[in-house]
Structure 1
Amino acid sequence: MRISKDNVIYSMDKENQAVGTIRSGDQVIFETKDCFSDTIKTESDVISEIDFNKVNPATGPLYIEGAQPGDVLKVTINAIKLNNHGVVVSAPGLNKLFTKGIEKEQTVICPIHEDKGTFEFQGVEFPLNKMIGVIGTANADEGITTGTPGPHGGNMDNTMIAEGSVVYLPVYTEGALLAIGDMHASMGDGEVWGCGVEAGGEAHVTVEVMKDYPHSVPLVETDEAFYTYGYGKTTDEAIVIANDHMVEFLMKEAGLTFNQAGMLMTIKADLTACQTVNPDASMRVGILKEFVELAKNFK
């Protein structure tokens, strides 16, 4: 199934009407707009001119047959295909990390060369690190804007959500109502200036319904590691949730005690900012699978 980028939402809400239905195990292509709804087309276009009610559109939502509250949605990122350009902007108020402030608006258009695995920024080629910023299901209660991270996933801005990764998401409502958007050609952890190389394109995914999944979600799995996720009004709040979920994960996955899990984390897990510039922050804790396996031998 292909879902057109004409079908977008700005809030992940159980009241949204699904634009398509699939069965567990089906493959889907989500066509996505960039986070500015494709409105910035030239370097003379600036962010102050866009409609902020249409920021971070997510394509969908998609109804998955058999998905019921309490289940987990397993989303495998098979491929990310980007359009031929991305956008980076600078503007006053775009981030909260620089005390000197941004005094001048600027837009840079970045040509993207998928065939070479590069993008151009200010005339210099850099390697792509393609990732999905917004991926989530309908929230349990009231809708949450697509620009906000939360228990449903949403605007996680986690650079580990890349080609080959698996994202585990909670199901709060019948059909799950999955939506995806806000892809990047490149973004540094923390997204410190307010945006990455924002790009539209296609997310090719496989979606499966998991019954009785044992771990707290959202959770990201790569070939090498597991990543728990936290969110909050402050980075401290987000850190606490991400840490709590990693402790729970290690206790279940490796059979560790609470203290063993915490001590393993402090010597071999990495705490990393996903996004720290928006009103709500997102953080992650990652641990290599090899250390999880070794920990199963703890006495």
Structure 2
Amino acid sequence: MPDVIFPLDSTKSFTDQQLLGHNRWHPEIPPAATVKPGDSFRVHCREWFDGAIHNDDSADDIRDAPLTTVHRLSGPFAVEGAKPGDLLVVDILDVGPIPQEDSGPLAGQGWGYTGIFPTANGGGFLTEQFPDAYKAIWDFSGQTATSRHVPHVSFTGIIHPGLMGTAPSAELLGRWNSREAALIATDPQRVPPLALPPEPRDAILGGLADSDYERVAGEAARTAPPRENGGNQDIKNLTKGTRVFYPVFVDGANLSVGDLHFSQGDGEITFCGAIEMGGFIDLRVDLIKGGMDTYGVHENAIFMPGNTDPQYSQWLAFSGTSVTLDGEQRYLDSHLSYQRACLHAIDYLTKFGYSPEQAYLLLGAAPIEGRLSGVVDIPNACATVYLPTAIFDFPVGPSADGPVRIDPGQGAPHSAL
């Protein structure tokens, strides 16, 4: 096992650890550790809410989840010799739940969770149709997930970090804040908001000096969206065996990682749509000097996926086009077309006995494939959702005999505002 350079004690909160991580992006957050090109190392990660979500049959914790506290990131980790303009090469050697602990109060200790966030607390991809809080707990057995809240399904998780990236430069941070503030200004009272501005409340800034805390907390960017540095991309295929190439914007690169997922469908559509967990990740780093200019990688991370994904061979696919539920035609709106494809899949699954919320939670957590299938045939974009049929313990395809009626069990816990 590689040396652990960022340990976490499961009996202590994230802010009471030997090394303090962070939950904002800023170039002045100092490194928690330093590694060399070619080094392999292990990092412990806490799930994004640091234990605020519980293994129970209530969704009150999802309804009241403290969004100003996320994400709890491990790092930053400086890489010797890294300079702005380089590419940081990151190999994911291994990733998994909290090791050597079968059960416990923290997500990752034998279980994880998926949540539908209420509109007033972040919302989700389908928040207009699902405005309230719901939750599903998933139990782990090896790499397999099952749930008492969404019965009759079992699937192999694609374990991956939802969030990994390098620190922004001061200039890049300024661009983020300016463009996101301009977007917010177009509809400042929108619920949920169009973007999340800097929020000093609950900011965790690693080993930053107290004298700089107030200034940096007021400038630091929230970690919710993906940006040029990678960040919260929520790409389910960044799993074991993946090689990622991140742009370097500051000396040392200052790599951070967190928000581990046991499984996720493309899009993480419920916002807390993955199976969230704490755990470990083993990484190896290297540098390509001057690689940003050499390969034209300035505003994005690129990656080579690993080859450890579960092998599903049969799928049931649903399509959607860019027409609203009210019948309004939109022009090549691929976002809308994916929403409609997801809604079609949810409606289909209700014919077997699932509630719409159970189906929605399933699409967020299971390894569904989301695809842009047509983006040129005006006026309708077409998106598709591929649902692996092998995850169900009953026949899910259409037949002349009609749908099998399953027992949906206790259902997904629900909390209204």
3-state SS of 1:206 partner: strand
Q: Does the 8 Å contact 1:38/1:200 carry over to 2?
A: no
User: Aligned partner of 1:147: which letter?
Assistant: A
**Alignment partners' CA distance in 2, 1:14 and 1:33:** 22
CA deviation after TM superposition for structure 1 residue 19, in Å: 0.7
Please tell me whether residue 201 in structure 1 is matched to residue 201 in structure 2: no
CA deviation after TM superposition for structure 1 residue 105, in Å: 2.1
Please tell me whether residue 4 in structure 1 is matched to residue 3 in structure 2: no
Please tell me whether residue 48 in structure 1 is matched to residue 74 in structure 2: no
1:183 paired residue number: 260
Aligned with 2:145 (options 107, 119, 134): 119
2:91 paired residue number: 76
2:225 paired residue number: 148
CA deviation after TM superposition for structure 1 residue 53, in Å: 1.5
3-state SS of 1:87 partner: strand
3-state SS of 1:46 partner: helix
- 1:1-299 aligned at under 5 Å gives the runs 1-2=3-4, 3-5=6-8, 6=17, 7-43=20-56, 44=58, 45-82=60-97, 83=108, 84-93=110-119, 94-98=122-126, 100-114=128-142, 117-122=143-148, 123=151, 124-141=153-170, 142=173, 143-194=220-271, 195-213=273-291, 214-215=294-295, 216=297, 217-222=300-305, 272=371
Structure with greater strand percent: 1
**Structure 1 length-normalised TM:** 0.70
Q: Does the 8 Å contact 1:13/1:139 carry over to 2?
A: yes
Provide, for residues 237-275 of structure 1, a one-character-per-residue CA deviation record: whole Å limited to 9, x for no partner.
99xxxxxxxxxxxxxxxxxxxxxxxxxxxxxxx9958xx
**Alignment partners' CA distance in 1, 2:134 and 2:370:** 32
- How many residues were matched structurally? 230
Q: Does the 8 Å contact 2:267/2:370 carry over to 1?
A: no
Provide, for residues 12-39 of structure 1, a one-character-per-residue CA deviation record: whole Å limited to 9, x for no partner.
2111011111111111211111122222
**Alignment partners' CA distance in 1, 2:38 and 2:116:** 41
Q: Does the 8 Å contact 1:57/1:146 carry over to 2?
A: no
**Alignment partners' CA distance in 1, 2:47 and 2:249:** 27
- The worse-fitting range, judged by mean Cα deviation, of 4-13 and 204-213 is 4-13
**Alignment partners' CA distance in 2, 1:170 and 1:38:** 32
3-state SS of 2:274 partner: coil
Unaligned segments of structure 1, at least 5 residues: 225-234, 239-269, 274-299
**Alignment partners' CA distance in 1, 2:249 and 2:116:** 37
3-state SS of 1:53 partner: helix
CA deviation after TM superposition for structure 1 residue 193, in Å: 1.6
Superposition RMSD in Å: 2.5
**Alignment partners' CA distance in 1, 2:76 and 2:371:** 29
Unaligned segments of structure 2, at least 5 residues: 9-16, 98-107, 174-219, 308-331, 336-368, 373-417
3-state SS of 2:75 partner: strand
**Alignment partners' CA distance in 2, 1:144 and 1:134:** 14
Task: Please list every run of at least 4 consecutive aligned residues from structure 1 whose deviation after the TM superposition is greater than 3 angstroms.
Answer: 94-97, 235-238, 270-273
CA deviation after TM superposition for structure 1 residue 65, in Å: 0.7
Distance 1:99 1:86, change over 3 A: closer
Distance 1:223 1:155, change over 3 A: closer
User: Aligned partner of 2:44: which letter?
Assistant: E
**Alignment partners' CA distance in 2, 1:190 and 1:89:** 14
Q: Does the 8 Å contact 2:54/2:61 carry over to 1?
A: no
CA deviation after TM superposition for structure 1 residue 209, in Å: 1.7
**Alignment partners' CA distance in 2, 1:132 and 1:159:** 8
User: Aligned partner of 1:136: which letter?
Assistant: G
**Alignment partners' CA distance in 1, 2:225 and 2:303:** 18
**Structure 2 length-normalised TM:** 0.51
Provide, for residues 138-185 of structure 1, a one-character-per-residue CA deviation record: whole Å limited to 9, x for no partner.
012234322221001100111121110011101111111100011111
Q: Does the 8 Å contact 2:157/2:264 carry over to 1?
A: no
